[in-house]
Structure 1
Amino acid sequence: MAFNDLLIRTLEGQNSGRPPIWLMRQAGRYMAEYREIRSRVSFLELCKTPELACEVTLQPIEAFGLDSAILFSDILVPIEPMGVNLDFKPAPYIADPVRTLADAERMKVVNPAEDLKFIMDAIKLMVSKLNVPLIGFSGAPFTLACYMIEGEGSKNFLEVKKMMHNEEKAFRMLMEKLAESTAAYLQEQVKNGCPVVQMFDTWAGIVSPYEYEEFIYPYVKQVVDSVEGAHFIYFAKDSSSFYPVIKQLNCSALGVDWKITLEQADKALDSKFTLQGNMDPALLFADKATITKYAEKILAEGKNIKGHVFNLGHGIMPKTPVENVKHLVDLVKSSD
């Protein structure tokens, strides 16, 4: 089968008729094939076994004919070799959170070729089997820091904000090590065959625009500017109020959540980027007529902006009906 380069052409600014479609968390719990594999191995074991990671990465490509695959892993996998004890219970849990200068000092910068060799082996295996581009990915420095500082998920991220303002030297040391590790990790993914990488900043929206500009953006820019030889997509959830700062980035595309329209985002970003998004994942629990109605709105707006990659505004939810995913993908693919 011929290689499908629609995502690459779109990120290069070529108008190719319909937008490419892939879905964040497209390999995962909503698919029976994935759950069968997970019934046999732990989540971390799945992430660290190249053959299994490859198998689950390919599952949605084979099931739906998506225009891109994304490396199956977890954003927190790279922080383990930095020096934290990572577990999933099933949510991420870090028994030794990083909260002091001494904690930040003991963190190591990742050597991805050695510390994360299993990821690179998985990428090479995936690329050998795919006829669509493979997207590599990482968490963004601040989002990784949120988990490392809190130790688990949080409703108010108070420990993060306390450290940011009361232990600024420690916070910035941690962010610098995370930025350096993330850039090296993404560059190694590119070296092993990923023509596109995406950086997820899931928790960027917990801070004010002032704090984003001062404490988060410099490290985002550091990573974006460091990675060469691939298209770079930055996705920051709840970030539309940061667009005056984010639009200074030099990357190919920005992910957009569902809380702003594509046309509004394009205008706020001065039509500088291809935009990726932005359907609410909860809409995939609606009936097909409703899915069609909202997808067509997004497709229509996508025609009026610089470039559009169809995606959700966040990851697929675990109990999403598979037939609704297929309906959405088929709809977008027939929208020429």
Structure 2
Amino acid sequence: MTSFRRALGGEPSRVPPIWLMRQAGRYHAHYQVLRAVHSFNTICRTPELAAQAALGPIEDFDFDAAILFSDLLYPLDALGLRVSYDRGRPAVDGPLTFERLELFRSMEEALSRLAFQRDAVCLTRARLSSSKGLIGFIGGPWTLFVYAVEGSHAGPLSRAREAVALYNGFAARIVPLLIESVRQQLQAGADIVMMFDTAAGALPPDVYSGDVARDVRAIATAHPGRVGYYARDFSDAHQAAAGFDTIPLAGVGLDMHRDLAGALRNANRSLPAVAPSAKVGGFIHGNMDPPALLRTGASLEQALERFVAPLRALDAETRRGWMCGLGHGVLPGTPEDSVRRFVSFIRETFS
């Protein structure tokens, strides 16, 4: 069994599997070659190109898992909110209103418009070594709602936070679509599907624990042990308020502000820093600070040493389920050699 699949099961492994959010992206020369010829949207929507983009980092950096190359906003486009990528950042033809909700496509039609993601997963899996894992992904319902209402997840998100009834109407349509999107990706060959809920941490824990956590639970419950979850600026309080110990997630990703070593110390694979009574199997992914990989030479070595110092003190049993990565995505401008050194340093340290 590979280290990636051992970590999925929360099993001990001396050397953690390594994968990075946005490991296929603007920092990588392989991706830049594709982008010189094709738009981002074309790469995502063309399974052959998406597979090339996903496999490039495996070939160049030997990560332990490939990630579907796509974008989390495509379900909005599939339902009828046009998403464009013409200016480098996604733009949603919003804002979402009750009237526009009524014009959404059916779940079946919307799902058919996401077939390119399924086909990209299938093609990537066919070309990927059996020793490597494959990760699909979706956006979290709240994050998709924020984009539909606000256009991005920057700022106070006041319009989205005040639109409770609109969120519930949106959730009634997006959650079934996301459940089926996860199913498609798993059937196409993904080992797990990550739910990237990047805007969820902006909600106070008591707000998150209501309708938003309800929808995270619904998606995870539809696919027990097959959906991972990541939210930036998420806290122990968010997880405790939402009852994460009772949500059947495959595991969680921690951002760079969380205590990774402390999370791994929790008995019987508790989810990160939830009450000690929480006994949950699964993985924990993270969580070096992405700007650290902008460094080179001695400065990079010092940053790597600081990251592993608290983890080096843990034995393999305590580290079980750990997937090594960053606390957020790889930043544009990150030197490729720094990424290579990150991978080799982790493997040398724990081998």
Both proteins in one fold, TM over 0.5: yes
Distance 1:293 1:54 in 2: 34
Instruction: List per-residue Cα deviations over 1:6-62 (Å, max 9, x = no partner).
Output: 211111122121111100000010011111211211111110011111111011100
- Corresponding position of 1:82: 79
Q: 1:91-170 residue pairs with structure 2 within 5 A? A: 91-98=89-96, 100-111=97-108, 114-131=112-129, 132-164=132-164, 168=165, 170=166
Is this contact kept in 2: 1:295–1:328, CA < 8 A? no
**Which residues in structure 2 correspond to 1:1-336 (within 5 Å)?**
5-88=2-85, 89-98=87-96, 100-111=97-108, 114-131=112-129, 132-164=132-164, 168=165, 170-227=166-223, 231-240=226-235, 241-244=237-240, 245=242, 246-266=244-264, 267=266, 268-269=273-274, 270=276, 272=280, 273-286=282-295, 287-297=299-309, 299-300=311-312, 303=315, 304-334=318-348, 335-336=350-351
- CA 1:178–1:150: 2 relative to 1, 3 Å: same
Distance 2:262 2:254 in 1: 10
Q: Secondary structure at the match of 1:309?
A: strand
CA distance in 1, matches of 2:328, 2:40: 21
Q: Secondary structure at the match of 2:163?
A: helix
Shift of 1:233: 1.1
Greater mean deviation of Cα atoms: 22-31 or 251-260: 251-260
Question: Structure 1: which amino acid aligns with 2:56?
Answer: Q
Distance 2:214 2:81 in 1: 24
Measured against aligned partners, the alpha-carbon deviations of 1:290-323 in whole angstroms (never above 9, x if no partner) come to 2321331363366435521101111001111111
What is the CA–CA distance in structure 1 between the aligned matches of 2:68 and 2:160, rounded to whole Å? 28
Query: What is the CA–CA distance in structure 1 between the aligned matches of 2:122 and 2:160, rounded to whole Å?
Result: 36
Q: Would you say the 8 A contact 1:280–1:314 is kept in 2? A: yes
Q: Which string of whole-angstrom CA distances, capped at 9 and with x for unpartnered residues, describes residues 200-252 of structure 1?
A: 01000111111101121000000001125x63211111111302023331112
Please give the secondary structure, in 2, of the residue aligned with 1:197. Answer: strand
In 2 relative to 1, CA 234–282 (structure 1 residues): closer, same or farther, beyond 3 Å? same
CA distance in 1, matches of 2:208, 2:53: 35
Deviations 1:71-119 (A, max 9, x none): 1001011211101011122211112321x32222222354365211211
Count of residues paired in the alignment: 327
Q: What is the identity, as a one-letter code, of the residue corresponding to 2:325? A: N
AA paired with 1:217? A
Q: Aligned pair in 2 of structure 1 residues 298, 46: CA closer, same or farther (>3 Å)?
A: farther
5+ residue gaps, structure 1: none
Whole-Å Cα distance in 2 between the matches of residues 301 and 193 of structure 1? 36
CA distance in 2, matches of 1:264, 1:16: 18
Taking a change above 3 Å as real, the CA distance of residues 305 and 32 of structure 1, as seen in their structure-2 partners, is closer
CA distance in 2, matches of 1:213, 1:106: 29
Separation in structure 1 between the aligned mates of residue 347 and residue 263 of structure 2, nearest angstrom? 24
Give the secondary structure class of the aligned counterpart of 2:19.
coil
Tell me how far apart the structure 1 counterparts of residues 342 and 160 of structure 2 sit (CA, whole Å): 38
Alpha-carbon distance, 1:120 to partner: 1.6
Distance, in Å, in 2 between the alignment partners of 1:294 and 1:224 is 34
Identity rate, percent: 31
CA distance in 2, matches of 1:53, 1:64: 18
- Give the conservation status (yes or no) of the 8 Å contact 2:3–2:15: no
C-alpha RMSD over aligned residues: 1.8
